[in-house]
Chain A
């Protein structure tokens, strides 16, 4: 391992180091309030590393390290920034929840940081085994965090996540084995070269049964991570049971990591011309199914966290529209698909975090999680109600929010690559989703409150909510800076 390798590992290493430091401080300190501050400082160090690396990558091109297993480029750095932002906001919003639980402060923040470092590695893995290890490094801390609350539902959520996560990992591993058997390598670039060099059987999709099986099994493995239909069964229970900040974390960061790995693997390994169009159909089908199932079932929910769980399934579908658009084009044809996926992920991360922070701000005070518990919130806590409404409008995709641009971009990519039908399915689904997002808005603004006492928001949650909602508005009016970043990341990433 050279110094250069360590340099490339700066952001994830910083997080692991901070995690250990937090555990150590937890033993020494009586006052636990400094722990989140230390975690935030560690994220700052990671951010500094990310920015430095960004400079290097812009000057000298993608950096490969640790025997070719790690590839740091604009694509992986885009996700590094995304994870840092999401983790920082989640750490901020966790404070009252962890305080309420009253134990294991250090472990909580450390696990969040470890999971985040796993996600960063996942986004830059250039080799199957590294990818697999990074995936597990992400999944195990999250499973522990899901089980963190003392109540029974939380334990159940943790176990469920652990078992199903192991199941999906097995599928992914099996898919990787098939691809390895066919190509004789675990490195993505070597596999891609082997796929192109081998004469393919034109009668079979993707050119050979082994590749097809590998692709389908890997898609299933990633499908679990990104919570796409039909691998979504765990989502509602785990989301409902896990502590709300962890639910938020699962719904954005964990999902973004899954998409990062999926995009990287599929567009590198199956990047050749005829293959792309074949797996496009696979993802187009998954996209249509996820959007429709997610939205339809969400309409029936009364628990806000379950409702949002189904909403994230639907959003996985919207993002998959972009993934399908990435692959449906001929390689020489420029597509807005990849940039669309990255931009959507960033927009969705900010928006969904804001939504969950709004929910945290309320549920920690009201003590219930159903839509009825939100009744008359407008009277009791107007700013939270306003921010939450605005974020829901963003999920719905109505301007002036970042969600509008994200949908415009991603459906545009579908139309551009000849998947206009998928865009139609997508916009029809957006209309369906209006029904249940509005139910939440309706409860807050139209239903009279049960009690009239104001609900004060804890400062750290308030700050997290304010930052994320302000970002939703800012990028809703000026999407350009973020869009530009997504475009650079998508282009240089070789996708």
Chain B
């Protein structure tokens, strides 16, 4: 089942590369693959037994590379099952958001599907080498997608993205080799204490803090944590719409997922010692990101920086693992995980909408826009909904995630959490200002005779899909929160008490 979920997009990509040539066929075939994979991802998520907990849907073939004890080992717990669902959802949205791609259509959809396989693989791998393999595999499609179909300084951004991530993963490679030669296993579930006793820091060939830092750097680049974030605005700005969706929606989550699965679970002590650092970095991300947003005139850049700000909340949530008087509440980490899911859908939606507006106006420069709501009501409505969710309006998933994180973190880091909450205020400011400048007010002279049309049928698919997800989770948080909590509690139990 997991194997199918992970590799179906790859098979689809090969089929496109080998057998299809008409752009129309390619699009619909990719959509079919996306839908099928979304269905599989939903089945994985829905079929996850919340009572039983633990690892499920496990698929394991030992003896893939026996001499290094590398196995083909897939499985999901509550955390990864939710992220698999997110990837399926956004993968599908990304395919529909790519409908207007005209240039080298066949290659484009093939790479997009390869990307989806890579991300699914990261979230489901329980063998460290397999995890790393998928982690690196993701770079190749991303490089081509940004460099060929991007805009602006696309090659510069593609290379910058690649160099930052490669550098990060170089540290991770050393880290995982140290772990392997210290413990003799690449089994992430054992190392994380999910199925075994967990990693004993005394066994390590290097000091635990050093190894923790090796992993931390890799995930911090991906998340991204200030000051390793500079690739993100460039990559986002120059990437095609669907790739921005995938980047903000799921690729950043690989960083957060890694921090929880590797740093927090395998090195609980070091994580607790470093919690203050994490909390400060989280708050810096939130506040710095939000401040920079105000200076942005490019809509995509604006959302990119707001992503940095919102992902800071994830780091802050992880910092709550410090606990109060030896008691660690799962609330903060659950909030962080919820925030990952939520941010994926909301930011994905915002990027889709910006993409739609860009296709009509051919500009993302905010001072050129204004009053668009009158010409394109559907786009405007959904864009407003997305922005409101992003600023954390109750009844949207943004609210649930932010509230949970802040409630979980406040008892541990009172003052810092208060500072972090400032980010929400700032977010309300910049998002409403963005809406005001782009959608409302008088329509500028230059657009009067311009045939600005509303979204077409196919273009509505991705926005509706994501909006539904945002409100479903906002109104019934239990849909994902239940599953997440099962995963988070298992991670915390025994490791943080």
Chain A residues within 8 Å of B, Cβ to Cβ: 336, 339, 393, 398-400, 404-405, 408-409, 411-412, 415-416, 418, 420, 423-424, 427-428, 430-431, 434-435, 438, 442, 445-446, 478-480, 483-484, 487
**Which of chain A's residues have a CB closer than 8 A to the CB of B173?**
408, 411, 427
Q: How far is the CA of A416 from the CA of B159 in the complex (A)?
A: 32
Task: Answer whether A418 and B205 are a contact pair too, CB < 8 Å, given A399-B136, A483-B67.
Answer: yes
Q: How far is the CA of A411 from the CA of B205 in the complex (A)?
A: 15
Q: Considering the complex, give the chain B residue whose CB is closest to the CB of A428.
A: B170
Q: How far is the CA of A484 from the CA of B137 in the complex (A)?
A: 25
Q: How far is the CA of A416 from the CA of B144 in the complex (A)?
A: 36
Q: Is residue B459 within 8 Å, beta carbon to beta carbon, of the partner chain?
A: no
**Interface SS of chain B:** helix
Q: Write the nearest CB–CB distance from A71 to chain B, whole angstroms.
A: 25
Most buried by A among B68, B137, B155: B68
Inter-chain contact B67/A423, CB cutoff 8 Å = no
Q: Write the nearest CB–CB distance from B148 to chain A, whole angstroms.
A: 6
Query: How many residues belonging to B are interface residues under a CB distance threshold of 8 Å?
Result: 32
Task: Answer whether A415 and B178 are a contact pair too, CB < 8 Å, given A431-B167, A483-B67.
Answer: yes
**Which of chain B's residues have a CB closer than 8 A to the CB of A415?**
174, 177-178, 181, 205
Q: How far is the CA of A484 from the CA of B64 in the complex (A)?
A: 11
Q: Write the nearest CB–CB distance from A106 to chain B, whole angstroms.
A: 42
Inter-chain contact A431/B170, CB cutoff 8 Å = yes
Most buried by B among A339, A405, A427: A427
Q: Is residue B52 within 8 Å, beta carbon to beta carbon, of the partner chain?
A: no
10 sample A-B contacts, Cβ–Cβ < 8 Å, listed by A number: A400-B137, A409-B68, A411-B174, A412-B177, A418-B205, A427-B174, A428-B167, A430-B166, A434-B162, A435-B159
Q: How far is the CA of A424 from the CA of B167 in the complex (A)?
A: 11
Inter-chain contact A408/B166, CB cutoff 8 Å = no
Q: Write the nearest CB–CB distance from B174 to chain A, whole angstroms.
A: 5
Most buried by A among B67, B137, B167: B67
From B133, B147, B174, B181, give the contact of A424 (CB < 8 A): B174
Inter-chain contact A404/B136, CB cutoff 8 Å = yes
Inter-chain contact A438/B143, CB cutoff 8 Å = yes
From B65, B139, B162, B205, give the contact of A480 (CB < 8 A): B65
New A-B contacts (6) at CB < 8 Å, excluding given A400-B137, A408-B129, A415-B181? A399-B133, A409-B68, A416-B177, A430-B170, A442-B155, A480-B65
**Which of chain B's residues have a CB closer than 8 A to the CB of A398?**
136-137, 139-140
Q: Is residue B180 within 8 Å, beta carbon to beta carbon, of the partner chain?
A: yes
Q: How far is the CA of A375 from the CA of B2 in the complex (A)?
A: 40
Q: Is residue B206 within 8 Å, beta carbon to beta carbon, of the partner chain?
A: yes
**Which of chain A's residues have a CB closer than 8 A to the CB of B65?**
405, 479-480, 483
Inter-chain contact A412/B166, CB cutoff 8 Å = no
Inter-chain contact A445/B68, CB cutoff 8 Å = no
**Which of chain B's residues have a CB closer than 8 A to the CB of A399?**
133, 136-137
**Which of chain A's residues have a CB closer than 8 A to the CB of B326?**
none
Q: Considering the complex, give the chain A residue whose CB is closest to the CB of B66.
A: A480
Q: Write the nearest CB–CB distance from B142 to chain A, whole angstroms.
A: 12
From B144, B174, B177, B178, give the contact of A445 (CB < 8 A): B144
Within 8 A of A (CB), among B329-368: none
Inter-chain contact A484/B67, CB cutoff 8 Å = yes
Q: Considering the complex, give the chain A residue whose CB is closest to the CB of B210.
A: A420
From B137, B148, B166, give the contact of A431 (CB < 8 A): B166
Q: How far is the CA of A423 from the CA of B143 in the complex (A)?
A: 26
Most buried by B among A393, A438, A487: A438
From B129, B137, B167, B178, give the contact of A420 (CB < 8 A): B178
Q: Write the nearest CB–CB distance from A420 to chain B, whole angstroms.
A: 6
Inter-chain contact B174/A487, CB cutoff 8 Å = no
**Which of chain A's residues have a CB closer than 8 A to the CB of B171?**
427
Q: How far is the CA of A446 from the CA of B174 in the complex (A)?
A: 33
Q: Write the nearest CB–CB distance from B471 to chain A, whole angstroms.
A: 39
Q: Considering the complex, give the chain B residue whose CB is closest to the CB of A407.
A: B173
Q: Is residue B464 within 8 Å, beta carbon to beta carbon, of the partner chain?
A: no
Task: Answer whether A434 and B155 are a contact pair too, CB < 8 Å, given A393-B140, A411-B173, A415-B174.
Answer: no
**Which of chain A's residues have a CB closer than 8 A to the CB of B136?**
398-399, 404
Q: Is residue B163 within 8 Å, beta carbon to beta carbon, of the partner chain?
A: yes
**Which of chain B's residues have a CB closer than 8 A to the CB of A416?**
177, 181
Inter-chain contact B147/A446, CB cutoff 8 Å = yes
Q: How far is the CA of A438 from the CA of B140 in the complex (A)?
A: 11
Closest 4 CB pairs of A and B: A427-B170, A415-B177, A399-B133, A416-B181
Q: Write the nearest CB–CB distance from A342 to chain B, whole angstroms.
A: 12
Q: Write the nearest CB–CB distance from B231 to chain A, whole angstroms.
A: 14
Q: How far is the CA of A416 from the CA of B66 in the complex (A)?
A: 17
Inter-chain contact B177/A411, CB cutoff 8 Å = yes
**Which of chain A's residues have a CB closer than 8 A to the CB of B147?**
442, 445-446
Q: Write the nearest CB–CB distance from A192 to chain B, whole angstroms.
A: 27
Inter-chain contact B133/A404, CB cutoff 8 Å = yes
Inter-chain contact B64/A480, CB cutoff 8 Å = yes
Contact with A along B37-71 (1 / 0, CB 8 A): 00000000000000000000000000111111000
Q: Considering the complex, give the chain B residue whose CB is closest to the CB of A412.
A: B177
Q: Considering the complex, give the chain A residue whose CB is closest to the CB of B162.
A: A434
**Which of chain A's residues have a CB closer than 8 A to the CB of B148?**
445-446
Q: Write the nearest CB–CB distance from A460 to chain B, whole angstroms.
A: 25
**Which of chain B's residues have a CB closer than 8 A to the CB of A409?**
68
Q: Considering the complex, give the chain A residue whose CB is closest to the CB of B173.
A: A427
Q: How far is the CA of A487 from the CA of B171 in the complex (A)?
A: 27
Q: Considering the complex, give the chain B residue whose CB is closest to the CB of A433.
A: B166
**Which of chain B's residues have a CB closer than 8 A to the CB of A412?**
68, 177, 180-181
Q: Write the nearest CB–CB distance from A327 to chain B, whole angstroms.
A: 17
**Which of chain A's residues have a CB closer than 8 A to the CB of B64?**
478, 480
Q: Write the nearest CB–CB distance from B44 to chain A, whole angstroms.
A: 23
Q: Write the nearest CB–CB distance from A359 to chain B, whole angstroms.
A: 21
Q: How far is the CA of A430 from the CA of B174 in the complex (A)?
A: 12
Inter-chain contact A431/B163, CB cutoff 8 Å = yes
Q: How far is the CA of A431 from the CA of B178 in the complex (A)?
A: 19
Q: Write the nearest CB–CB distance from A90 to chain B, whole angstroms.
A: 29
Q: Considering the complex, give the chain B residue whose CB is closest to the CB of A446.
A: B147
From A405, A411, A438, give the contact of B159 (CB < 8 A): A438
Q: Write the nearest CB–CB distance from B288 to chain A, whole angstroms.
A: 26
**Which of chain B's residues have a CB closer than 8 A to the CB of A427?**
170-171, 173-174
**Which of chain B's residues have a CB closer than 8 A to the CB of A424?**
174
Contact with A along B159-198 (1 / 0, CB 8 A): 1001100110011011001101100000000000000000
**Which of chain B's residues have a CB closer than 8 A to the CB of A434?**
162-163, 166
Inter-chain contact A423/B155, CB cutoff 8 Å = no
**Which of chain B's residues have a CB closer than 8 A to the CB of A480?**
63-66
Q: Write the nearest CB–CB distance from B459 to chain A, whole angstroms.
A: 28
Inter-chain contact B144/A438, CB cutoff 8 Å = no
Q: How far is the CA of A235 from the CA of B67 in the complex (A)?
A: 35
**Which of chain B's residues have a CB closer than 8 A to the CB of A484?**
66-67
Q: Write the nearest CB–CB distance from A339 to chain B, whole angstroms.
A: 7
Q: Considering the complex, give the chain B residue whose CB is closest to the CB of A411.
A: B177
Inter-chain contact A339/B67, CB cutoff 8 Å = yes
Q: How far is the CA of A446 from the CA of B148 in the complex (A)?
A: 6
Q: Considering the complex, give the chain B residue whose CB is closest to the CB of A484.
A: B67
Inter-chain contact A420/B205, CB cutoff 8 Å = yes
Q: How far is the CA of A398 from the CA of B64 in the complex (A)?
A: 18
**Which of chain A's residues have a CB closer than 8 A to the CB of B133?**
399-400, 404
**Which of chain A's residues have a CB closer than 8 A to the CB of B63?**
480
Inter-chain contact B68/A408, CB cutoff 8 Å = yes
**Which of chain B's residues have a CB closer than 8 A to the CB of A336?**
67-68
Q: Considering the complex, give the chain A residue whose CB is closest to the CB of B172.
A: A427
Q: How far is the CA of A336 from the CA of B180 in the complex (A)?
A: 13
Q: Write the nearest CB–CB distance from B234 to chain A, whole angstroms.
A: 16
Q: Write the nearest CB–CB distance from A302 to chain B, whole angstroms.
A: 17
Q: Write the nearest CB–CB distance from B102 to chain A, whole angstroms.
A: 17
Q: How far is the CA of A355 from the CA of B171 in the complex (A)?
A: 28
Most buried by A among B147, B148, B174, B205: B174
Q: Write the nearest CB–CB distance from A336 to chain B, whole angstroms.
A: 7
Q: Considering the complex, give the chain B residue whose CB is closest to the CB of A477.
A: B64
Q: Write the nearest CB–CB distance from A199 to chain B, whole angstroms.
A: 34
Q: Write the nearest CB–CB distance from A28 to chain B, whole angstroms.
A: 46
**Which of chain A's residues have a CB closer than 8 A to the CB of B170?**
427-428, 430-431
